[in-house]
Amino acid sequence: MSNSWQIKVPGSTANLGPGFDSIGLGLSLYLTLEVTLQNEWEFVHIGDNVPSDTTVEKHLIYKIAQQVGKQYNASLRPCKVEMKSELPLARGLGSSAAAIVAAIELANILGELNLSTQDKLNISSQIEGHPDNATASVLGGLTISSMDEQGNVDTLHIQEMDAAFVVFIPNVELKTSDSRGVLPSQLERGYAVRASANANMLAASLIAKDYVRIGRYMEADLFHEPFRAELIPNYNEIHEAAKLAGAYGTALSGAGPTLISIIPLSIQGQFIEAMKKQFPTHQIVLTTGASAGIQVTTYSNSN
Ligand SMILES: Nc1ncnc2c1ncn2[C@@H]1O[C@H](COP(=O)(O)OP(=O)(O)O)[C@@H](O)[C@H]1O
Ligand SMILES: N[C@@H](CCOP(=O)(O)O)C(=O)O
């Protein structure tokens, strides 16, 4: 019988501009949990990018895992969870969605729930409130989704993107809830129609792999970026510099404050070098789409 597992979940960038609350892309930056059965629950945090508090009862991963266990009338075997992460918190790289997806997988293992992929998509998107990050963390790759009022998620999953991505992470946090707080509750119809047309063109360009158009429409959002831009350090400067250095386009990553550029694979080295010189206070990271979503490795007990 197994007594330890590794759960590895990719972070994600949501929206890609006008795909607000719908489009997500898994990134090759990971949250990793090493799980070992023991008599009591325990969380051990390793390195940066993890909350400073490790109290079991308040831990997001513990709370979500218990909530999911309860939903399926299953009790979870206690365990030690050693957690490390490449996803800075509250920066728009889907750390909360990755944590929720990891917690659902944890409940799935410890409660022997036998969840299907569709169950994981539905539960994680319902908890997040929108399916963009959660579906990308579950499946990897690019996801285009809609969630109905009952919380049923329909996702179209596109695996490969022939481009690289560069994230510009500022040294400040911005909670997704705060960044959603500046959005208007209503949009005038003509404005909403233009916003929706840009989102349609982004989705069509992603499926057609028309990278020039992908870049153009990533920069044509009307749903959220116009209202969030003033919260984002160097919003205009990074857009302009990235375009001059050869990016197809740049958008807010999720709710921000990170910005993300999509660039041709051929210019990766020179692009990073130029951006690091121009934005020395940002952490600038070259990444790619994650080819896989949740990955579970089971270690069998030799005793
Ligand atoms: N691995 C984790 N373990 C526990 N809590 C986490 C983890 N990752 C994220 N969180 C919680 O989620 C919050 C960030 O969520 P959010 O504001 O939605 O930003 P993000 O864009 O990073 O998802 C953190 O401040 C923390 O409370
Ligand atoms: N569609 C959401 C995405 C939030 O992503 P996060 O990575 O910032 O949590 C939004 O734009 O609010």
**DSSP labels for 193-247?**
HHHHHHHHHHHHHHHHT-HHHHHHHHT---SSHHHHGGGSTTHHHHHHHHHHTT-
Q: Which atom from ligand 1 is nearest to the alpha carbon of 177?
A: 17
Q: Residue 266 in contact with residue 115, Cβ under 8 Å?
A: no
96 is in an annotated binding site: yes
Helix (H) or strand (E) holding 250: strand 249-252
| The pLDDT of residue 89 | 97
- In the prediction, which pLDDT does 174 show? 96
Q: How far is the CA of 90 from the centre of ligand 1 (A)?
A: 6
Burial 125-160 (b: 16+ CB within 10 A, else e): bbbbebbbbbbbbbbbbbbbbebeeeeebebebbee
Residue 230 sits in a domain whose CATH number is 3.30.70.890
Directed axis angle between helix 60-71 and helix 117-128, to 10°?
Answer: 120
- What total number of domains does the chain contain? 2
pTM of this prediction? 0.97
254 pocket-lining for ligand 1 (C-beta < 6 Å) = yes
Domain check: are 139 and 265 in the same one? no
Res 1: pLDDT: 65
Give the DSSP H or E segment for 179: helix 176-181
178 plus 144 within the same structural domain: no
Distance (Å, rounded) from C-alpha 260 to C-alpha 166?
6
Tokens of 95: 């750390």
| Cβ atoms within 10 Å of 183's Cβ, excluding its own | 14
Outline where 11-130 has alpha helix (H). Answer: 60-71, 95-110, 117-128
* In a shared domain, residues 75 and 126: yes
- Residue of 137, 169, 166 lying closest to 153 (CA atoms): 137
Examine the domain organization and report whether 209 and 278 are in the same domain. Answer: yes
Beta sheet of 164-169, edge-to-edge order: 249-252, 259-263, 164-169, 283-287
91 lines ligand 2 (CB under 6 A): no
Domain range for 76 is 2-158+291-300
Is the same domain home to 217 and 153?
no
Residues 129 and 196 in one domain: no
Helix and strand numbers (H, E) in the chain are 10, 11
CATH of the domain at 36: 3.30.230.10
Q: Enumerate the β-bridge partners of residue 248.
A: none
Is residue 39 domain-shared with residue 61, that is, in the same domain?
yes
CA distance 31 to 256: 19
Same domain, 152 and 175: no
Question: Within this chain, do residues 124 and 243 fall inside the same structural domain, yes or no?
Answer: no
> Are residues 147 and 270 located together in one domain of the fold?
no
Do 17 and 127 lie in one domain? The reply is yes
**Residue 245: beta bridge partners?**
none
Q: Structure tokens of 91?
A: 């920066």
* Rounded CA separation 90/185 (Å): 23
DSSP state of 152: -
Same domain, 152 and 8: yes
Q: Which ligand lies nearest the alpha carbon of 227?
A: 2
ipTM summary value:
0.99
Smallest CA-to-CA distance from 176 within 287, 10, 298, 12 is with 12
Q: Residue 58: helix, strand or coil by DSSP?
A: coil
Q: What is the pLDDT along the chain (303 residues), one digit of tens a residue?
A: 689 999 999 999 999 999 999 999 999 999 999 999 999 999 999 999 999 988 999 999 999 999 999 999 999 999 999 999 999 999 999 999 999 999 999 999 999 999 999 999 999 999 999 999 999 999 999 999 999 999 999 999 997 889 999 999 999 999 999 999 999 999 999 999 999 999 999 999 999 999 999 999 999 999 999 999 999 999 999 999 999 999 999 999 999 999 999 999 999 999 999 999 999 999 999 999 999 999 999 998 655
Pocket test for ligand 2, best of 133, 180, 222 (most atoms within 8 A of CB): 133
Check whether 90 is labelled as a binding-site residue: yes
Q: How far apart are CA 145 and CA 129, in angstroms?
A: 13
Q: Is there a binding annotation on residue 91?
A: yes
